[in-house]
Chains A and B, each alone.
Chain A
Amino acid sequence: MTATVMQASAADNKRPFDGKDAKLVLAHLLVAFTALLLGGVAGVLQGLVRGGMIELPSEIGYYQILTAHGVLMALIFTTFFIIGFLYAGVSKTMGGKLLGVVSRMGWAGYVLMTVGTILGTIMILANEATVLYTFYAPLKANPFFYIALVFVVVGSWISGYGIFTQYRYWRRTHKGSVSPLFGFMAVATMLVWQIATIGVAITVLFQFIPWSFGWVEKINIMISRTLFWYFGHPLVYFWLMPAYMCWYICIPKIIGGKIFSDSMARLSFVLFILFSIPVGFHHQLMEPGIAPVWKYIQVVLTFMVVIPSLMTAFAMFATFEQTGRAKGARGLFGWLKTLPWGDVRFFAPFMGMLVFIPAGAGGIINASNQMNAMVHNTLWVTGHFHLTVATTVALTFFGVAYWLIPHVLGKQLTPRMNRLGIIQTIIWLIGMFFMSGSMHTVGLFGSPRRTAYTTYGDHPDAVFWMPYHVAMAIGGTILFIGVILMFCNMIALMRAPKGDEKTAAEFPIGETADAAEPTPKWIERWGVWVGVLVVLILFAYTVPFGDMLVNPAPGSKPWVTW
């Protein structure tokens, strides 16, 4: 059975954004970009330290700023931006404004997450929580660091419920219609988040908090790491899926084309839900205590994610080619020339897509057991995720900010702002080329990640790494300029001149190509997808996890090494 998809019209995209919802969206973006700025300060310092160019004052530890960097960038910048973006699109495409109760949930989530962020940052700055963003036991932070994490996670849950509520309301009031693509994808993303964060919630509430308060003496490290990575891999899909939303939904509109296939876009998101969670062991391939067969099974499930990833790549190329050919492009690659290279709303996310090609290839290498042995805990891995999250995802989010901020405020994206955006993107790409490129290379030579400056007593291998570390520092400095420019751009976007119906920035929501097959209704059977997912999770985790519970390794007392 099929049904019509509610098509966004050009008029909808231009319609002014609800003023109250705008505040909620901007509040999220403000925290996101502040975290980016602070995290950027830490990042450039790390680069300079490792390059042997500066020494930190004795009151500040390398691992302390590394913790700040990981937490502020990977957890705070991403989560706040994502929730702000999803609320914006949900308001835009599912009713034009948030329901009262949804808006209240959005604010409640925001307040909780912000309180958690501030508390956690204070703990890190007070040198009470130098445990890195993965907070592996037996390193023990001040209990309030873990409590801060609870605030962030519970806040994000409430924000997620808000999105589900608006979606349910829309479905109820539009019986027989397939939901807007944005709403569908927002629900899929938040569903991944809800199911993934159960892992951190359990380990933080039942292991870290009692142990860090001293209520229990020991912690089972194996279980805490397994629960962390049950969360840690879907976390990266929680970052990627909103970037894909921009690619699937917004980019076609920005380039003057249509969405290649609504059904394929939805199917890829369903596959991301299924294959992003039961795969955490690919981060634990080098750990003892997990039988190889279970690592193998989870690696097979990991490789399944290649399918929706390549579907996405295909859909992007197809959108570009169809659009170009409709504009009269000829030859094999003539359509490339018709893309709007001078439009930052396209240019920044497109560069993110391009970078995802080496980033994805690197991911396949990481997930291959033997090669993981080679790259594990080296700077290769750091180079890898500075391509995935710090470039593909970050540049896509930056690209979104250039229209999202002015749109919700009824302002313009001026040609000058657009130029600054293009420059910002290029700075980022150059900086990342040097930083991530040298991280990848020197990682293959064996230089470890998460290590302050050292030459290991002038060991020849480590001395040989130094020029790469210097290149890393130079790249990091260029990136830091990019961070500052992005922060200034965000402020400038908020202060842009008012626009009218014609000149105000639009919320680009694409329409599906006429030739595309109608979307089948079964795609919205969430119960089925969650059911399949639960089966996959139980299959992948029950036996090895049960083994950890039944044959526990001796627990560990807390350690404070800093």
Chain B
Amino acid sequence: MSRDRSDKEKDTLKGTFTSVMLLGGFIALSWLGVFILFINR
């Protein structure tokens, strides 16, 4: 059981998943920021 869990911990890519989501979020926010600037001009 505990072996199972440590195996899971070893194979997971949850950090990668979180990172790419943050990356996507950053891109969307940057885009939105400049878009709002555009709309306001």
Contact = CB atoms under 8 A, between A and B. Distances in A.
Interface string A316-333: 011011100110001011
Interface string B13-41: 11110111001101100110011011001
B27 A361 contact: yes
A522 B14 CA distance: 31
A61 interface: no
Contact of B16 (A314, A361, A371, A373): A314
Which of A313, A335, A336 has the most chain B CB atoms inside 10 A of its CB?
A313
Contacts of A361: 26-27, 30-31
A325 B20 contact: no
Nearest to A363: B27
A322 B38 contact: no
A330 B5 CA distance: 12
A357 B31 contact: no
Nearest to A326: B10
B39 to A, nearest CB: 9
Interface residues of B, number: 22
A214 interface: no
Contact of A322 (B9, B13, B37): B13
Nearest to A366: B34
B37 A374 contact: yes
A318 B30 contact: no
A374 B38 CA distance: 7
B19 to A, nearest CB: 5
Main secondary structure of the interface of A (DSSP, over half): helix
A336 B16 CA distance: 11
A392 to B, nearest CB: 14
Nearest to A310: B20
A334 B12 CA distance: 12
Contacts of B26: 357-358, 361
B11 interface: yes
Given A317-B19, A317-B20, A332-B18, A444 B34 contact: yes
A325 B16 contact: no
A544 interface: no
A332 B14 contact: yes
A325 B38 CA distance: 44
Contact of A374 (B12, B16, B41): B41
Nearest to A365: B34
Contacts of B18: 332-333
Interface of A: 310, 313-314, 317-318, 320-322, 325-326, 330, 332-336, 357-358, 360-362, 364-365, 368, 370-371, 373-375, 444
20 contacts: A317-B16, A317-B19, A318-B16, A321-B13, A321-B15, A325-B9, A325-B10, A330-B9, A332-B14, A332-B18, A336-B15, A357-B23, A358-B30, A361-B30, A362-B30, A364-B27, A364-B31, A371-B35, A374-B34, A375-B34
